[in-house]
Structure 1
Amino acid sequence: MTAARLLLPLGLALLTACAHQAPATKVVNLEKQAQCPVELQVGQPLNLILPSNPSTGYRWLLQNPAANVLRSLGPEVYSNPETTGIVGSAGQSVWRFQAQTAGESHLILVYQQPWAPEVRPVQTFDCVIKVR
């Protein structure tokens, strides 16, 4: 058998393998404590979306980022709906994570004024994250 006859089937097999891609991993959007606990697969993205109004001086602060099971994909991103047209109106804060290791942990955020850590938070978000 010649080298060309051996390389042709091998080349076709490699092309076929490259054409098959893993299905897109569904992004999980977590917006309420009632959606907890959350189960994720390793590699699955998670968006945490919480109502926020920094003009009041309050911010969501990560108290426990569940770093043993989640990897942060960047800093918090605040957005204000442009349709309101009202300065100081509430918006939302978004954190993006990716499940990195199988296990279980708590993702905990507190809503408070960053310059007054001794004052109890006005709200706490505590969610069990399970990664399989």
Structure 2
Amino acid sequence: MSGDTIELGLEDGGRKVVVRPGSEILLRLPENPTTGYRWSAPTDAGIELLSDGYAKEMGAPGAGTERIFRLRVNEMPPKDLNLIRKQEWEPESTPDASFVLRLSPD
């Protein structure tokens, strides 16, 4: 399984995903940067952020898009991958969404 790319989205939140060191995860999450609410880039130990970008806009200017994270698993799980969507510049900001994956070797 090493070297495989696993494509996931918001609908996969909460599920268990089998990975090995070297597995890559392509994670697509809905985001509208103009609202100020952005997904936090994963900073979990053992997970390397390879890229962080956006899909093309889905409609009119100011409309939502997808935030795309490409990640590599460098250490054996099990562990949880946690992301939150909030206004980063507001320290007291309450997240408006969260996303969790349970990474497991089997």
- State whether TM-score is above 0.5: yes
Q: Does 1:126 align with 2:81?
A: no
| C-alpha contact (below 8 Å) 2:19/2:77 kept by paired residues | no
1:48 alignment counterpart: 27
Secondary structure class of the residue paired with 1:55 = helix
Which has more helix, going by share of residues?
Answer: 1
RMSD: 2.3
Q: Which has the larger radius of gyration?
A: 1
Structure 1 unpaired stretches of 5+: 1-22
| C-alpha contact (below 8 Å) 1:108/1:125 kept by paired residues | yes
- The Cα of 1:107 is off from its aligned counterpart by 1.1
Question: 1-side partners of 2:2 and 2:57: how far apart?
Answer: 28
The residue type paired with residue 104 of structure 1 is P
Secondary structure class of the residue paired with 2:34 = helix
**Paired positions, count:** 105
Which has more strand, going by share of residues?
Answer: 2
- The Cα of 1:130 is off from its aligned counterpart by 1.8
TM-score (ref. length: structure 2): 0.83
Structure 2 unpaired stretches of 5+: none
Listed one character per residue, the Cα deviations across residues 29-80 of structure 1 (whole Å, up to 9, x for unaligned) are: 1102545211112211111110010011111113x53322x22213x20123
Distance 1:117 1:126, change over 3 A: farther
Q: Does 1:79 align with 2:61?
A: no
Listed one character per residue, the Cα deviations across residues 66-125 of structure 1 (whole Å, up to 9, x for unaligned) are: 322x22213x2012336x2x1101100011111212121111111111111212101111
31-40 vs 50-59, which moves further: 31-40
Secondary structure class of the residue paired with 1:73 = strand
Question: 2-side partners of 1:44 and 1:24: how far apart?
Answer: 5
Structure ranking higher on relative contact order (CA contacts 8 Å, 6+ apart): 2
Percent of residue pairs identical: 25
